[in-house]
Chains A and B, each alone.
Chain A
Amino acid sequence: MTDLAQPAAMERQITARRRGREFPRFDVMNVIGYLLLLFAALATVMPFLWMVSTSFKGDQEIFRFPPSFVPDGLRWQNYLDAMASPDAGRQLVNSLIYALGSTVSNLVFCSLAGYALARMQFSGRNLIFALVVGLLMVPAQSQIVPVFLIVQKIPFAGGNDWLGNGGTGLLNTYWGMILPTAATPFGIFMMRQFFTRIPMEYEESAKLDGASPFTIFRRILLPLARPSLAVLGVLSFQSAWNDFVWPLILNSHREMATLQIGLQLLQSGPDARWNVVMAMATLITLPVIIVYLLAQRHVIDGAVTSGVKG
């Protein structure tokens, strides 16, 4: 989902260049407004609080009605049960491989392509850039069926012949999961915009010394691009880690399920226990929030320092 990618990047910029406005005057309207704000914040965190509170409840306690907000005690056993649920370890590994594979390939492929589009002279450049911008508009969700069929028909994979028939292609493989997300128009566009802004002087002396385009890219421009790479990395990781639809459609084998699929299976299973399901949901949600809160600061620092240099 590239649509959601931009706000996250924007937020970092806002934090980086925020200036304090004057303190609002103290009057009745402001007090009411502030109370509304508090109410909205409470309503927003409520589902999270229910998630955490339920994750500590006992098996009888979850059926008490009306439900208690504060659990009787901290039942850590639910978390152990969630982690001991069948295939949970396997699902964690699958999610990590998918998310890390997608992140690394996005970083490599998008920065290479972005560099070529921003810095290299070649025929067809405008055409390719227009193509990338055009593909930004293709809704990924509506393409899921043909992508499935294409991944199934990759030649020589999974017992396929050279025409892509006869086997299962990349279905139920990590390659199949990563391939369609390995480079995105948004990532290429973002890296291209970044490289365009770097002054030409940085690479001119290297060019005079006869360095190859790849050396210039690898030694000079890539280190400068660290803040943009951090943003792209966080967004790619987040979107693959949270992805549900693509692994659901691609993988029919239980051992290829990711954590998101595992959570859905746990919740829809015949003997679903809400406390264990909520423990699992907490375990899946926390890392993303922690990574975001940490990366936010790191990315802001990066943006500030690169702003001084540029």
Chain B
Amino acid sequence: MALQNSTSRPIKTVSFHQTWSAYAFLAPALVILFLSLLLPAVATLLMSFTDVSFLKPTNFIGFDNYIKLFNDTRFQQAVGNTIHYTVGVTFPTMVLGLLAAVALNQNVPGRIAFRTIFYLPVLTSLIAAAVVWAYVYEPYAGPLNGVLTRVGLPPQPWLQNPSLAMNSLIIMAIWRDFGTAMIIYLAGLQDIPNDLYEAARLDGAKGKDIFLRITVPMLSSVTFYLLIILIVQTFQVFGAIYVMTQGGPLGSTETVVYQMYQTAFGYTEFGYSAAMSTILFLTILVFSIIGTRIMRRKDA
């Protein structure tokens, strides 16, 4: 690299040398992003119009996959399950995160310890968490049923009952995610000027009013941002379901990504799976764009 940059001044025209060396800096990262994100996004879209599979030659089949998808009752169930999961996880996570953040934003004894404890589940690997919760929910020797029996309540088949399984997964996800919400809310609370609280207190406002009239409105952009990232993340749930229920019982915990995985690697219907992936991608993209807009507005 014998480039002479000593002559470079803040001038408008950019020399060939400068451009060349900048692209040398960028090249490795760009190649990786191209292979791991850009090309796959385009490939997914193209594949969704074919019947690509390992077993037979590929044909272009137009919108057949999408038509099939909209009439597929299993897919409809998966969409319903995914929405159930997303709504069930997102809102309690945000409420708990906000309450924890407001509580820990004060100088309570053991603040750092509380914060670390609430953040521990976020650090745990998804699989370790799923394995531990599979044990907690275990019907015959699991601690949850043990506690229920001890206080005189009937034990439940948490992951084996179709009407309980999804809610059991939701509780685990809330446990894992509310630390994230807490941290983001804590950052948001730091940005609220103290004068606002002091003025409110001088005017004789009560704690509840201060919370509802100052804290909550001032956090609205943080709340919206958090809502988006939680939706985007919970929409893509896979690992916990793979470990804990495998989509069962009776398909009651089968989500879109889990079905996508099954369709691609279980039945090798890559084209059909790509159509699911495209639907998922477009849905998530909408939420991501909204989220990015909000982030921009917050930075500005």
Contacts and interface: CB of A to CB of B under 8 A. Distances in A.
A140 B14 CA distance: 35
Given A50-B135, A120-B18, A122-B19, A3 B232 contact: yes
Interface stretch (A72-80, A129-137, A222-230): A129-137
Contact of B26 (A117, A135, A212): A117
B26 A65 contact: no
Contact of A210 (B5, B19, B129): B5
B158 interface: no
B32 A180 contact: yes
Interface string A201-222: 0000001111111110100000
Given A128-B26, A136-B292, A207-B8, A7 B257 contact: no
A293 to B, nearest CB: 8
**Chain B contact residues (Cβ within 8 angstroms of A): what range?**
35 or more
Contacts of A215: 1
Contact of B33 (A20, A62, A183, A260): A183
Contacts of B229: 3
Interface of A: 1, 3-4, 6-8, 10-11, 13-14, 17-18, 20-24, 29, 33-34, 37, 40-41, 43-45, 47-48, 50-51, 54, 62-67, 69, 108-110, 112-113, 115-117, 120-125, 128, 131-133, 135-150, 179-183, 185, 188, 207-215, 217, 238, 241-242, 244-245, 248-249, 260, 263-264, 267-268, 274, 277-278, 281, 284-285, 288-289, 292-293
A48 B125 CA distance: 12
A210 B6 contact: yes
B71 interface: no
A183 B26 CA distance: 11
Given A67-B146, A145-B277, A7 B265 contact: no
B73 interface: no
A48 B236 CA distance: 25
Contacts of A37: 100, 103-104, 108, 114
Nearest to B279: A142
Interface in B1-39: 1-6, 8, 14, 18-19, 21-23, 25-26, 28-30, 32-33, 35-39
Contact of B260 (A40, A54, A123, A142): A142
A34 B34 CA distance: 51
Given A67-B142, A141-B257, A145-B44, A47 B136 contact: yes
A146 B39 contact: yes
